[in-house]
Structure 1
Amino acid sequence: MRKLLPILFFVFASASFAQVTNSGQPKSWKSINLDEIPTIAMPDFDLEAVKAEDKVNDKKRNVPWRFGYDFSVSYGLDNSGQWFNLESGGRLWLLKFHSEGAKTLNFLFDQYKLPDGATLYFYNEDKTDVLGAYTSSQNRADLNFGSWLVDGDTVIVEYFEPESSLGQGLLNISAVVHGYRSAAQFKSAKALNTSGDCNIDVDCGVGSDFDDLKDELKRSVAMTVVGGSGFCTGTLINNTANDGTQYFLTANHCLGGGVSNWAFRFNWISPNPSCATTSGSTSGSFNQTASGATLRASNAKSDMALLEISPNLPDSWDLVWAGWDRSGNSPDYVVGIHHPDGDIMKICRDDNGPFQTSLSFNFEPNTEVWYINEWEQGVTEPGSSGSALFDENGRIVGQLAGGAAACNGTSNNGAYDFYGRFDVSWDFGNTASTRLKDWLDPNNTGEVIIDQYPAAQVFTNDARLIVNELDSEVCGTTAEPIFKVKNVGSNTITSIDFSYQVGSATPVNLNWTGNLAPDATVIITQPTLNINGSTSVQAAITSVNNNVDNNPTDNTYANTVNNFSGQSYVTTAVTFELLTDDYGEETTWELRDSSGNLIQSGPNSPYADTQNYSISLNVQQDECYNFTINDSASDGICCFFGQGSYELVTAENEVIFAGGNFTSSETTSFSVVSSLATQQPNLEQEVSIFPNPSNSVINIQNKTGLNYSYKMYSVTGQLVKNGDNNQLSVNQLPQGLYLLQLDFENGQKMTERIIVK
């Protein structure tokens, strides 16, 4: 079977990529004889041995495509180069590097701190490839910096220090990279137009239903230079504070080391787009670059990495921070915007929409992904890794992990791609370093969907539904979500019609009135929902200010909530009994509680082959658990390479689960209880309230055997009746809508709508 390879491709940059970070020209060009500059000659190295290593490493999915040989050096302002005083004031520091036969040279710095007014340039001897001016805007607390690549085997480094800042600069080059191979060895051109002919430039149309969104979202996408030696793609992403924090979403497999010397290049778009033709694109302006970032979060479970770009991105670049949707709902169709092979910005579209699955990828046995069978327009290629997957509303739902899609002439090869799922990235793990929610929802608003920043369009009547405290898995028989509404329009909201439904129960309709200012949020209701097994929960805003919402795409919520009904065991202990197969070292496992906390995992050292193990699990009563067993070779522990098996067994020898024939992983959910009597009744099934509507009497039929009391409220929240009997009179109440809440002695609550005629 064909292996799934990360779409991460390492190539070199050419003169067509040469550009300035801001603008200007090296000062040495007007006043310095370049022949006078001291030259550092890099030593020879065994290129044939390096190429022999590449033949092996190029086939590995977890090893970067290497283009250069790294010389470790230490050259700084105090121990090398030459200073030149300028008649106009200030001084220049110049140093020349030569590495015989190099196609490119690039530089890493372990000390980079420029004072205000100082500049740093890199250029080759014939002045055809220039990088700069880099300024104090690239300064970082860790002093790291990485340059782009310059064509040729001889490169001059120029540092200018103004008279007002003499002696304040700090520079030290820690590595010089000799680029010994390039994209030109594989394709006839460099960078621009290196991607396949079936690719579509981002300014080509992909459908009238998305073209307006595309014209906004392309301003969020950047090509990234990974550690000076590789290409990926990523996207500026919005957070619930809508404050322009420079968060950047890409793929975990693009990291490969620190991100402090990453380079980001925005808005490289062809002014004369090529739309899946053999005609090449023409290069557009490409001078919007920044260097340096901090890693905020990453995980292999969804192949996600979130960075924060360090230098301020200028307002003049007119960038956009893309919105996102963490609901996990399947999109109708999806679009990708990316830089394949380090080429100019491209776009692709899948009309059929992706589906969710898990697969073994990059040493994670159970990566959660969106799977795309085939692109209808365009394609992705190496270098597209980390690029965002946008749903039909232009919101991020994932980032590119891997696949086999490629061009076959001006058509694609009909192969698949897969993207790490945003909803999994949102809350995976137990710390901010593995999940997105701590960064993208800094005020813990609980928003499931947000739009881009700055907003593409502000509507007058626009309410957004937010659902908090409702996970897909509930330990127990009740859930207590918080239904909230945020005003994202320009008008004050004075009324909201809202509805929610649990399973097949009668929908609950509510009307909120008040004054909700733009950007403000209000809680509509906090009901107690009865969950029994797999239960659907739906909610919707049905009207705003007695009118249809101008932007209804964020008005609905749908989720399936599961509890541990039928998987509860009265016991004081659970044991994991394991018989390994012929490859015991491939087996690992973990136990997590209902909050996702890791309780226990193993083994501490690899398991032996065909051996029995008995492990006591650290369980507590009245808690729910997920037990997952993994096989790193994705062939389970039975029955291909030995007859391995496992069981989860209670202290009373009741088997919770037994198995062994799986692929990469298998998960068993169960709860441990002190007594099944402690399991709460299903109120939806055992309590009836009738007739409804009624003009006179409401009857409460209670089959739970539990005592209860009731409270009846008006829609404004005023208590109008309370008691503990089985019948209540409503004939004296005004016509309208009321809420009846039942409070049971075991702590359960039930809310039912009552319409009085």
Structure 2
Amino acid sequence: MSLSIGTALAAPADVRPAAFDHDIARLDRVELRSMPAVDAQRLRAQDPQREARGLPPRFAQPLAVDLDPHNAGAWEALDDDHLVWRLRVESRDALSLNFGFDRYRMPAGGYMLIYPEGLTGEADPRLVRHFSDADNEAHGQLWTPIVAGDRAVIEVVVPRASVDELELHLVQIGHDYRGFSRMARESALIQPLGTSGACNVDVECPDADPYYDNIVRSSAAISTGGSLFCSGSLLNNTAGDRRMFFLTANHCGINSGNAASLVTYWNYQNSTCRTPGSSSSGQDGDGTLDQYLTGSAFRAGNSASDFTLVELDDPAPAAFNLYWSGWDRRDMNFPGAIGIHHPNVAEKRISISTSATQISGYGGGAGSSHLHIFWQPSGGVTEPGSSGSPIYSPDKRVIGQLHGGPATCSATGSNRSDYYGRLFTSWTGGGSNSTRLSNWLDAGGTGAQYIDGIGPDGGGGNLPPNADFSFTANDLTVSFSDGSSDSDGSIASRSWNFGDGGSSTATNPSHSYAAAGSYDVTLTVTDDDGASNSRTRTVTVGSGGGNQLQNGVPVTGVSGAQASEQFWTMEVPAGASNLQFVTSGGSGDADLYVKFGSAPTTGSYDCRPYTGGNNETCSFASPQAGTWHVMVRGYSAFSGLSLTGSYGTGGGGTQTYSNTSDYTINDNATVESPITVSGRSGNAPSNASVDVDIRHTYKGDLRVDVVAPDGSVYNLHNRSGGSTDNVIGTYTLDLSSEPLNGTWKLRVNDNANQDTGYINSWSVTF
């Protein structure tokens, strides 16, 4: 089931849960249907074996149900002319839920909302999924995008006179046990699905220069049947009529029986370039899943070159600014290649090959159905979830889609490569309309060997500018610096709104505020083709020292809008220890960023805990002396938050030293996370406390040790625990023979295949 242009972005501003504006039954009195327990541990243990057999990656367990307004929930009068039906659904410990309706027919003037239970009127409207009569399709089905959390409310509002026209039958609920995105994460009990390898390259990075901007807009992350995930791309055809042809992999499991359940997520990418290889590059980014289309019709597929072509139910919403990629079906190799994909269904990445392609069979076997692509030694690769993603020639034309291969971030040589089913082979496929591309991409029989892509306006399409700015506050005066850019043109004008009634059209204005406080400043930039974009940051000014944190003194009542950014500094003296920045309390969801020497950004920082809610901590056992910078950014709107910076002085007493960076644990490999201690005297105590947080399936494969500065090894965990997940706990060690100063290491050794993980954090107190 697809979303129309008017509904695909989010629920309209005037469409809210009925209880916000009407006197109807309290939500806790609405019927709750609870699903049977899901054994997430067993499912996660199965996933590596499934993927090793070539099955599509899985993020959710489908649960069969038989629910409709006749056997569940309750109707109420909303007003004289409308009725509302509501049902609560729970699948305990799900990270998100999705819903499959095998019958959906909404009368004119009616609509359905699905939203997380507990939603408030101030919540991000993107959390509300909205469907209307525009989503009625010939196949009569509706399959929804994910809804965050393990409880959701299904709410239908219809005109009283049309209630008999409603058809609604819920046949499946998807229990997300891996975490489809950060939005779906309720806790950090497991590694989020949306976390890809650190070597991968964001599409905002220099590797993805403006030459590739158009084809980046062509790729999407997908889910099928409320359970499986892959990647794919939008393709042009010789008619240039913008039919919604979408190419993915045959092994992703889409067929004529389930194509209606396809959900495509567009423009899901990080807003900045995270340095490839850095810890931030291997973590969740700030991409969102609020641009989506649902539903498709199967057109063709063939296993020989592992392709599937579907046609999405609805046209592209203008706001998505999508791009229909060109293609090249010639029987030839190419001097290089570009892959754009969603590794592990994380934010969109780009991988580049500067080596010539090689025609081969899949896996290097006999035949000519695939292209063998060799990635750069230090660049991005692919991962599960990248399957079905396009591979482009240097001319930016699709020449195949990902089938599989041995590539990983740690792979070298010929193993740092993948196999893509050739578009040349797929063109004639199995010789019938339902097994080849030719009938669909060249329906007029022009015989074209290749075509270029097309944008929403008939050409490449004007890319909107990127709005951004930085600022420096001095007492009540703030100096602003425009950092906006336009990849396919230039910035023609700027409009500043300083949040106190003041404004400017200057490039780098300065503004003086009349009173201390926090102000939301918005910069709107317009490019030379008339497209515009805006960026809002929260600026806090004060008459007594600006935004400087004092040791141990909390700043209270911090509030901000979604994506707002507020900054503080703290001067840390020489010899300080155990520096901590802590956010706590209030409501909403704010993210803490800390960096030494300069202001952090979403792509550059020394610490970012990135947990749900407002309770976050950044710790530095032996901090550098100088200026530390703190940013609090609104993941969603938040209020009532407290921020405290504190440090100790002197070298005596017990201190805690931590390393919160992620270290990937590869199969049959050893990884170490270091902590350096300095400025102490004497030996460690006989009761040192070590806290570890290791996320890994099958902890029975792991050996975990603390390694002292002189190389002495102290074992914490030695391949016990069988198939249970994660090593999380506190251990007491006698380290009295070891000097305190030096580099301590947490060493983790993996002893089996097909189950990887990472060191999330560890600390030692002595």
TM-score range, shorter chain: 0.5 to 0.7
- Is residue 2:206 matched to residue 1:205? yes
1:432 maps to 2:433: yes
Contact 1:302–1:367 (Cα < 8 Å) also in 2:
no
SS in 1 for 2:174: strand
Residue 308 of structure 1: aligned partner: 311
Residue 141 (structure 1) aligned to one of 135, 138, 144:
138
Whether 1:444 and 2:441 are equivalent positions in the alignment is no
Amino acid at match of 2:240: N
Q: CA deviation at 1:175?
A: 1.6
1:354–1:55: structure 2 CA closer, same or farther, 3 Å change rule? closer
> Which among 359, 382, 392 is matched to residue 384 of structure 2?
382
- 2:286 maps to a residue whose letter is S
The aligned amino acid for 1:296 is: R
Structure 1 residues 186 and 154 mapped into 2: Cα distance closer, same or farther (>3 Å)? Answer: closer
> Superposed, which structure 2 residues align to 1:229-628 within 5 Å?
229-255=227-253, 258-276=258-276, 277-280=278-281, 282-284=285-287, 286-359=289-362, 368-376=369-377, 377-408=379-410, 415-454=416-455, 455-456=458-459
Structure 1 residue 88: deviation in Å? 7.4
By how many angstroms is 1:286 displaced? 4.0
Per-residue CA deviations over 1:435-480 (Å, capped at 9, x if unaligned) read: 000000011010111111135469xxxxxxxxxxxxxxxxxxxxxx
User: Given the superposition, is the C-alpha separation of residues 321 and 175 from structure 1 closer, same or farther in structure 2, using an over 3 Å criterion?
Assistant: same
Q: How many Å separate the matches in 2 of 1:342 and 1:22?
A: 27
Q: What letter is aligned with 1:99? A: S
Choose the corresponding residue for 1:94, options 86, 95, 102.
86
Q: Pick from 27, 32, 44 the counterpart of residue 18 of structure 2.
A: 27
After the TM superposition, which of the residue ranges 57-66 and 349-358 deviates more from structure 2?
Answer: 57-66
Q: Report the 3-state secondary structure (helix = DSSP H, G, I; strand = E; otherwise coil) of the residue aligned with 1:404.
A: coil
SS at match of 1:97: strand
Deviation at 1:274, TM superposition (A): 1.5
Partner of 2:473: none
CA drift at 1:341:
1.1
Structure 2 vs 1, CA of residues 408 and 53 (structure 1 numbering), >3 Å: closer, same or farther?
closer
- Contact 1:121/1:130 (8 A) holds in 2: no
Looking at structure 2, the residues matched to 47 and 417 of structure 1 have their Cα atoms a distance apart, in angstroms, of 30
Cα gap change, 1:44/1:456 in structure 2, threshold over 3 Å: closer, same or farther? closer
- Superposition deviation, residue 334 in structure 1: 0.8
Aligned letter for 1:304?
Answer: F
Report 1:677-696 matches (<5 A).
none
In structure 2, the residue corresponding to 1:167 is in which secondary structure? helix
User: How far is the alpha carbon of 1:51 from its aligned partner?
Assistant: 4.6
Per-residue deviation, residues 650-690 of structure 1 (Å, max 9, x unmatched): xxxxxxxxxxxxxxxxxxxxxxxxxxxxxxxxxxxxxxxxx
Aligned residues: 433
* Aligned-residue offset at 1:68: 4.0
Measured after TM superposition, the shift of residue 267 of structure 1 is: 1.3
The CA distance in 1 between the partners of 2:84 and 2:361, in whole Å, is 56
Question: Shift of residue 353 of structure 1?
Answer: 2.6
Deviation at 1:251, TM superposition (A): 0.7
CA contact (8 A) 1:379 1:412 kept: no
Where 1:161 maps in the other structure, the secondary structure is: strand
Tell me the distance in 2 between the aligned counterparts of 1:457 and 1:81: 48
Alignment pair present for 1:152 and 2:143? no
State the Cα distance separating 1:105 from its structure 2 match.
Answer: 2.8
The Cα of 1:338 is off from its aligned counterpart by 1.0
Task: Return the alpha-carbon distance in structure 2 between the equivalents of residues 55 and 46 of structure 1.
Answer: 13
Say which is worse superposed, 312-321 or 443-452, in terms of deviation: 312-321
Contact 2:239 2:444 in 1 (8 A): yes
Match for residue 36 of structure 1 among 13, 23, 29: 29
Write out per-residue CA displacement over residues 323-343 of structure 1, whole angstroms, 9 at most, x where no aligned residue: 111112222211011111111
1:64–1:355 Cα change, 3 Å: closer
Q: Assess, with a 3 A threshold, how the Cα gap between structure 1 residues 25 and 196 changes in structure 2: closer, same or farther.
A: farther
Per the alignment, do residues 312 and 412 of structure 1 end up closer, same or farther by CA in structure 2, a change over 3 Å counting?
Answer: farther
Give the direction of change, closer, same or farther, for the CA distance of 1:405–1:52 in structure 2 (3 Å limit): closer
Partner SS, residue 166 of structure 1: helix
Tell me by how many angstroms 1:142 deviates: 1.9
Aligned to 1:175: 172
Distance 1:289 1:52 in 2: 26
- Given the superposition, is the C-alpha separation of residues 240 and 344 from structure 1 closer, same or farther in structure 2, using an over 3 Å criterion? same
Given that 1:333 and 1:352 are in contact with CA atoms closer than 8 Å, whether structure 2 keeps it comes out as yes
Deviation, 1:114, is 1.8
Q: Alignment partner of 2:134: what SS?
A: helix
2:62 touches 2:175 (CA, 8 Å); kept in 1? yes
Rounded Cα–Cα distance in structure 2 between residues aligned with 1:62 and 1:282: 28
| Cα displacement string for residues 630-669 of structure 1 (whole angstroms, at most 9, x for unaligned residues) | xxxxxxxxxxxxxxxxxxxxxxxxxxxxxxxxxxxxxxxx
The residue aligned with 2:107 is: 115
Q: 2:219 pairs with 221, 229, 232, which one? A: 221
Question: Is the alpha carbon distance of 1:162 and 1:319 closer, same or farther for their aligned partners in structure 2, counting shifts above 3 Å?
Answer: farther
Partner residue in 2 for 1:630: none
Deviation at 1:213, TM superposition (A): 3.4
Query: Unpaired runs of 5+ in structure 2?
Result: 1-7, 462-766
Percent identity for Structure 1 against Structure 2: 32
Are the aligned partners of 2:127 and 2:148 in contact in 1 as well (CA < 8 Å)?
no
From the superposition, tell whether residues 148 and 448 of structure 1 become closer, same or farther in structure 2 (CA, over 3 Å): same
2:417 maps to a residue whose letter is Y
C-alpha distance 286-105 of structure 1, shift in aligned 2 (>3 A): closer
Looking at structure 1, the residues matched to 76 and 370 of structure 2 have their Cα atoms a distance apart, in angstroms, of: 57
Q: Does the 8 A contact of 2:306 with 2:421 survive in 1? A: yes
Q: Which amino acid aligns with 1:368?
A: S
Matches within 5 A, 1:698-709: none
Amino acid at match of 2:20: W
Cα distance in 1 for residues equivalent to 2:10 and 2:220: 16
Distance, in Å, in 2 between the alignment partners of 1:173 and 1:412 is: 50
C-alpha distance in structure 2 between counterparts of 1:65 and 1:285, whole Å: 21
Using a 3 Å threshold, how does the CA distance of structure 1 residues 339 and 60 change in structure 2: closer, same or farther? closer
- CA–CA separation in structure 2 for the residues paired with 1:229 and 1:215: 30
Q: 1:457 to 1:309 in 2, by over 3 A?
A: closer
Cα distance between partner residues in 2 of 1:56 and 1:237:
31
Separation of aligned partners in 2, 1:111 and 1:174 = 9
SS at match of 2:260: coil
Conserved 8 A contact 1:216-1:456: no
